[in-house]
Amino acid sequence: MFFDPACIPCIVNQSYRAAAYFSNGDKSLELKIVKDVCKEVEVVNENYTAPHFSIKMQSIIERNLGISNPFEKQKQENIAKAKKVLPLITEYVEKSTDKFEAATRTAIAGNIIDIGANPDFNISTEIANLGAKNIDLSQLPRFRDAVKSAKLILYVADNFEEALFDKFFLKELASKRVVFAVRSYPILNDITLADAIELGIDEECEVIESGSKIAGTDLSQCSNKFIEVFNEADIVIAKGQGNYETLLNEARDIYFMFKVKCNGIAQRSGFPIGKGVLLYKPKFKESPNEKI
């Protein structure tokens, strides 16, 4: 797992933005939510990650608002924005001479949609730059070979809206057995089983809940089914910063796809903020601080 003290003010800032969004101008409610989140800082230690802190933030918002799944409205607003650019993505992938690379770029670009770490995302700009150098694909040859020889692929999903982009990549895996893992709780704008069915992911591949209830994948929370697939899969593909933060130090090899959205992840990954990456983590590392 990855922790940086900089995650704390980031989550507190997220709590303020969420409080302002949900409070309808009630400054007392905004203050109450932010103060309650600040109290939780006391329990944070080096074993925490931003996703673990995010579930604390959301539970505080839910308690103060008296509702569950508070980000559902934002998810639906974002999915409408994402659907508008689907014709452009379809044209980009279909006209590409290398559809596997195009679909990989598309999946990475979709990770720009993020209520937490990157609320001011611009989908149209991201799609316009799909073929640009803002995505590092230095690991693509290794990745392509691994996919070609794989029989079982575990795809650990991230956000609901970006799953529309994931579908282009899933089509490239149609000849494989693919297990698409979603969250077991509606945390932030992360994808749940109901969301996956709404988008028709279940028509593309097998869909399971991971068991994880944070905006990442905590194996101590995960179901026996997920752990079984995680261990047996020829390839694990994990989308998003949250999955990178929580799965970074697990024993097996993993391919991560995400957009770098903060200084902590930029320093850890070795890529600048704004860069899209296909990052390969081998099974064993010589040092927890080595760039991979």
Give the confidence band of 119 by pLDDT, cuts at 50, 70, 90. low
Most confident residue range from 45-54, 71-80, 171-180: 171-180
Tell me if 210 sits within 8 A of 93, measured CB to CB.
Answer: no
Q: How far apart are CA 17 and CA 46, in angstroms?
A: 25
Buried b or exposed e, range 88-101, using 16+ CB within 10 angstroms: ebeebbeebeebbb
Return the CATH superfamily for domain 73-281: Uncharacterised protein PF01937, DUF89, domain 3 (3.40.50.10880)
Sign of the CA dihedral with 265 first, then 271, 273, and 276 last: negative
pLDDT-above-90 percentage for the chain = 61
User: Residue 152 carries which DSSP code?
Assistant: E
Instruction: Give the pLDDT confidence of 212-254 residue by residue, as tens digits.
Output: 999 999 999 999 999 999 999 999 999 999 999 999 999 999 9
Tell me if 209 sits within 8 A of 184, measured CB to CB.
Answer: yes
Token digits of residue 29? 């409610």
Give the confidence band of 127 by pLDDT, cuts at 50, 70, 90. low
- Pairwise pLDDT comparison (255 vs 89), residue with the higher score: 255
pTM of the complete model: 0.90
Mean pLDDT, rounded, of the chain: 88
Give the confidence band of 126 by pLDDT, cuts at 50, 70, 90. low
Query: Is residue 279 pLDDT above 70, yes or no?
Result: yes
Q: How far apart are CA 46 and CA 5, in angstroms?
A: 9
Strand segments (E) across 199-271: 206-209, 235-239, 254-259
The whole-number pLDDT of residue 129 equals: 64
Query: Is residue 23 pLDDT above 90, yes or no?
Result: no
Please give the average per-residue pLDDT across 263-278, as a whole number.
91
The whole-number pLDDT of residue 12 equals: 86
User: Residue 186 carries which DSSP code?
Assistant: -
- Pairwise pLDDT comparison (174 vs 3), residue with the higher score: 174
Domain ranges of the chain: 7-65, 73-281
Q: How far apart are CA 247 and CA 269, in angstroms?
A: 13
Query: Is residue 101 pLDDT above 70, yes or no?
Result: yes
Tell me if 163 sits within 8 A of 111, measured CB to CB.
Answer: no
Query: Is residue 151 pLDDT above 90, yes or no?
Result: yes
